[in-house]
Amino acid sequence: MVTRNKNFTRLNSGYLFSEIQKRKQPFQKENPDAKLISLDIGDTTEPISEHIINGFKTASVKLGTAEGYLGYGHPQGDPILRQRIADKIYKGFIQPEEVFISDGAKCDIGRLQMLFGPDRTIAIQDPAYPAYLDTTLLMNSNLVYMPCLSENDFFPDLEKTPPCDVILFCSPHNPTATVATKEQLQKLIEFAKANSSIIVFDSAYAAFIRDPQLPKSIYEIEGAREVAIEIGSFSKSVGFTGVRLGWSIVPEELLFEDGTPVKQDWYRLISTFFNGASNIAQMGGISALDDADVNATTFYLENARILKQTLDQKYTTYGGDHSPYLWVHFPNRSSWDSFEEILSQAHIITTPGSGFGPSGEGFIRFSAFGNREKIEEAARRLTKLSL
Ligand code: MLT
């Protein structure tokens, strides 16, 4: 018999959002008439804009013609899409040759762990998106938690962070919904330079940022090109959670210790593990980045405002201004207890903060993804919450 990969024993038995689904089942069984509202996983709910749908249609029709048929594309992704990402999202900070199109930020996180290889020291924010933890453990790497608490404005205390090979850093941060300032990112870059670390900057929620003073990309900060990879996504900005389309940026200046460009190895790895994102999805991405205004984030930010208005009345609530998440403090009880109480009193499914890491204990994350009617109903139910 083949021995089991021992790293699986390091993982929780279920992925966070599967565990939530499991925990809601007994309640649903006992309360079959309860109309549950899901404010747990950050999954988009609104239809994709007609403009993008037309992009998909054009791509599909072309695939059915002799002249328009395409097989495998360029391993790095459609050159037009890469050009648009460089021009529209990075506005000249990044060249199209540094853009790699992917099937989403989560998949890139997994592949980047393979790029770095096993037995590394990887620092992650605590709390953090669970895929950072799981992929780190699966690679048998050492985990360093960087506590992000209200006391430190949810930004890690870098003086207490030991040297590490890789820092997985998300801003706007999932789950605390805080956005790192330019000054904070400058400190992170200095830390990475001093410790010869690579930062993987996850900007999946950048399209929610409304304050022009807040950085949407780490490359807005001087020195980032020598120390940072960035991953981005179309999932939340234009509703592609099911379509699957994202990207990574690996600047030319980023080198491994022996002088090998990181970009060279990333290209090599992508060519082996991945045959590129769907060409139909990429055409949708091209349409999303032309001149039509297709950003879906304004709708979800209004949802966040509605929920925040209610939750603010009774609880200490963070986020919602530049993020689709609210990070709400429910002191004196565990996150899972609060989850159960909110489920039984308000019939709302949330995400317990401790599921994102030990520093999430005592918090609940509310997602503002949902259609307006359900969000308004959730807000009404939350006014009666007694916790
Ligand atoms: C979440 O935290 O809800 C995630 O963003 C879902 C995902 O994108 O994988």
- Tell me how long the chain is: 387
Q: How far is the CA of 174 from the centre of ligand 1 (A)?
A: 8
Q: How far apart are CA 387 and CA 376, in angstroms?
A: 20
Q: How far apart are CA 31 and CA 25, in angstroms?
A: 10
So what's the pLDDT on residue 150? 95
What tokens appear for 173 in the block? 């941060």
The angle, 0 to 180 degrees and rounded to 10, between the axes of the packed helices 279-288 and 50-63 is 140
So what's the pLDDT on residue 92? 87
CA 21 to chain centre: 20
Q: How far is the CA of 235 from the centre of ligand 1 (A)?
A: 10
Q: How far is the CA of 68 from the centre of ligand 1 (A)?
A: 35
Q: Whose CA is nearest to atom 4 of ligand 1?
A: 42
So what's the pLDDT on residue 293? 76
146 SS3 class: strand
Q: How far apart are CA 230 and CA 166, in angstroms?
A: 13
Cis peptide bond N-terminal to 127, omega within 30 = yes
Which residues approach ligand 1 with their CB closer than 6 A? 41-42, 106, 129, 174
Per-residue pLDDT of the chain (387 residues; tens, 9 = 90+): 999 999 999 999 888 999 899 999 999 999 999 999 999 999 999 999 999 999 999 999 999 999 999 999 999 999 999 999 999 999 989 999 999 999 999 999 999 999 999 999 999 999 999 999 999 999 999 999 999 999 999 999 999 999 999 999 999 999 999 999 999 999 999 999 999 999 999 999 999 999 999 999 999 999 999 999 999 999 999 999 999 999 999 999 999 999 999 999 999 999 999 999 999 999 999 999 997 778 899 999 999 999 999 999 999 999 999 999 999 999 999 999 999 999 999 999 999 999 999 999 999 999 999 999 999 999 999 999 998
Q: Whose CA is nearest to atom 1 of ligand 1?
A: 42
Residue in 17, 208, 325 to alter for ligand 1 test, most ligand atoms within 8 A of Cβ: 17
Q: Please report where in the chains the tokens 């609880």 appear, as a residue.
A: 315
The answer to whether 298 and 78 have CB atoms below 8 angstroms apart is no
The answer to whether 306 and 374 have CB atoms below 8 angstroms apart is no
List 255's β-bridge partners, or say none.
261
Q: How far apart are CA 325 and CA 43, in angstroms?
A: 11
What tokens appear for 90 in the block? 């990075």
